[in-house]
Amino acid sequence: MKLTYLYHSTILLEINNIKIIIDPFLSKNNFFDKKLLYKYLNIKIDYILLTHAHYDHICDVELFASNNKDVLIISNYEISNFFSKKNIKSYGINYGSFVKFPFGKIKYTLALHSSSFNDGSYGGNPGGFLLHTNKGNIYISGDTSITYDMKLIPKFGDLSLSVLPIGGVYTMDIYDAIIASDLLKCDRILGVHYDTFENININKEKSIEKFYNKGKKLILLNYEESIII
């Protein structure tokens, strides 16, 4: 399984030749090189996973869908309905069981956050995704604070990687993410949702050191940098 960090919370996952983009926010991200946008728009995307309805997580859904007519959105019921009305294929889920897809199975997980579209309309329950695949298991928390429900995640299977927001203010910060990693029983964390806005800037070196001092690894990727899980 290959994971490529694009920026903010936008990730490209490649699992058995299936390509999944998560929370696409590139065209209106001032820090993302727009010349690279066309590169990714020309990649065949099979699935789009959306954690919640805030613009910095869904603003490029229609852009990617226009270049991938068979793409399937997986998100909560309200977000899926929203894009289904725009003639984009969608699969609505909610907190509950695992749901099987060709790349593995997904459970929509609790996130303590908010979720609204740009016009203020209701965006359903915010969430995250627990992905179980034959290449490993990943937890993508979405925008959230610490929740004690994170303690339940490893009960379904060991995690190869957890993707957690670390910028603070709107989500967990570094200290919170360390506690979350304890609950998740996962010492390998990919940090997201930082340095995109002034009030969520972090000190990368000190953040990595704080995790290291707890016997954990915080992975902070440059945009377009990839890791194999």
pLDDT per residue over 148-196, tens digit each?
999 999 999 999 999 999 999 999 999 999 999 999 999 999 999 999 9
Q: How many domains does the chain have?
A: 1
Within 10 Å of residue 28's Cβ, how many Cβ atoms?
A: 11
Q: 228 in a domain, yes or no?
A: no
Q: Between β-strands 127-133 and 47-49, what pairing exists: parallel, antiparallel or unpaired?
A: unpaired
Identify the CATH number of the domain in which residue 160 sits. Answer: 3.60.15.10
Q: 144 in a domain, yes or no?
A: yes
Q: 229 in a domain, yes or no?
A: no
Better pLDDT: 29 or 49: 49
**Alpha-carbon gap, residue 166 to 78, rounded angstroms:** 27
- pLDDT value of residue 85: 97
Identify whether the C-beta of residue 190 lies closer than 8 Å to the C-beta of residue 162.
yes
Which residue segment(s) compose the domain that 19 sits in? 2-223
Dihedral of CA atoms 129, 132, 135, 138 in degrees, nearest 10, equals 30
Q: 113 in a domain, yes or no?
A: yes
Query: Which of 224, 226, 225 lies closest to 35, judged by CA?
Result: 224
In sequence order, the 6+-apart residues with CB closer than 8 A to the CB of 60 are 24, 25, 26, 27, 28
- pLDDT value of residue 74: 98
Handedness of CA 183, 186, 188, 189 (dihedral sign): negative
Q: 138 in a domain, yes or no?
A: yes
**Alpha-carbon gap, residue 191 to 99, rounded angstroms:** 26
Q: 205 in a domain, yes or no?
A: yes
Decide if pLDDT at 37 tops 90.
no
**Alpha-carbon gap, residue 161 to 181, rounded angstroms:** 10
Residues in the chain: 229
Q: 175 in a domain, yes or no?
A: yes
**Alpha-carbon gap, residue 89 to 158, rounded angstroms:** 32
H or E stretch at 127: strand 127-133
Handedness of CA 181, 184, 187, 192 (dihedral sign): negative
Q: 135 in a domain, yes or no?
A: yes
pTM exceeds 0.85, yes or no: yes
- pLDDT value of residue 202: 97
Between helices 204-213 and 174-184, what is the axis angle to 10°?
40
